[in-house]
Amino acid sequence: MVFVKGAEAKAKLLSCVAPGNVEKTRSAPVTAILAMDAEFHEQLPKLFPHADARSWFAGNQPLIDESAFRNSSLQCAYFMMAARALGLDCGPMSGFDKAAVDREFLAGTTWRSNMLCNLGHGDAAALYPRSPRFEFAQACRIA
Ligand SMILES: Cc1cc2nc3c(=O)[nH]c(=O)nc-3n(C[C@H](O)[C@H](O)[C@H](O)COP(=O)(O)O)c2cc1C
């Protein structure tokens, strides 16, 4: 995670977000770049020491990519749960130039951006009401 907070870094980030995300990103006290490690399997000897988990992934790029994206997205959701538990509001965003964010903030690392998340306290007067959601039967089936 890269917590973008300083004025210079924030200005750089604003040049990477979609037009509709500029103002909310500018006004958020902090914007987190939630990233994944494209070589996460190199960390498995430390993080998963009870098996040779590195060997399950090394050399299998499709499995690396799929697993990195899945687990990073899970982490994004947990990140928002933790932030909300602290009383913060979250504004997750897909609307940004991923290549530009990676170039500006993650160059020289094996990290790749997944999503951005504004953190702060939403302005109740400016927030949209919650959009419609599917009923159970529209999104689920029991097998
Ligand atoms: C794929 C996807 C991309 C999104 N991208 C943006 C975005 O770029 N900017 C934004 O303001 N909201 C974006 N949203 C919407 C919000 O992040 C969020 O879904 C909305 O506030 C509803 O949140 P709730 O489900 O907690 O009520 C996106 C939602 C989805 C599903």
DSSP 80-103: HHHHHHTT-EEEEE--B-HHHHHH
pLDDT greater than 90 at residue 110: yes
Eight-state DSSP code of residue 11: H
Structural domains of the chain, ranges and CATH numbers in brackets? 2-139 (3.40.109.10)
Is the entire prediction scored with pTM above 0.85?
yes
Share of the chain above pLDDT 90, in %: 95
Q: How far is the CA of 92 from the centre of ligand 1 (A)?
A: 6
Q: Are 10 and 104 in contact (CB under 8 A)?
A: no
What pLDDT score does 10 carry? Answer: 98
Average pLDDT over residues 72-95: 98
- How many helices (H) and strands (E) the chain has is answered by 7, 4
Decide if pLDDT at 115 tops 90.
yes
What is the Å distance from ligand 1's center to 95 Cα? 9
Q: Which residues line ligand 1 (CB under 6 A)?
A: 18, 21, 91-95, 130
pLDDT value at 64 more than 90: yes
Q: Are 96 and 16 in contact (CB under 8 A)?
A: yes
Is pLDDT of 89 > 90?
yes
Q: Identify the band that residue 128 occupies on the pLDDT scale cut at 50, 70 and 90.
A: confident
pLDDT for position 120:
97
Q: Report the separation in Å between the CA atom of 74 and the middle of ligand 1, taken as the mean of its atom positions.
A: 16
Beta-bridge partner residues of 112? 36
pLDDT at 4 over 90: yes
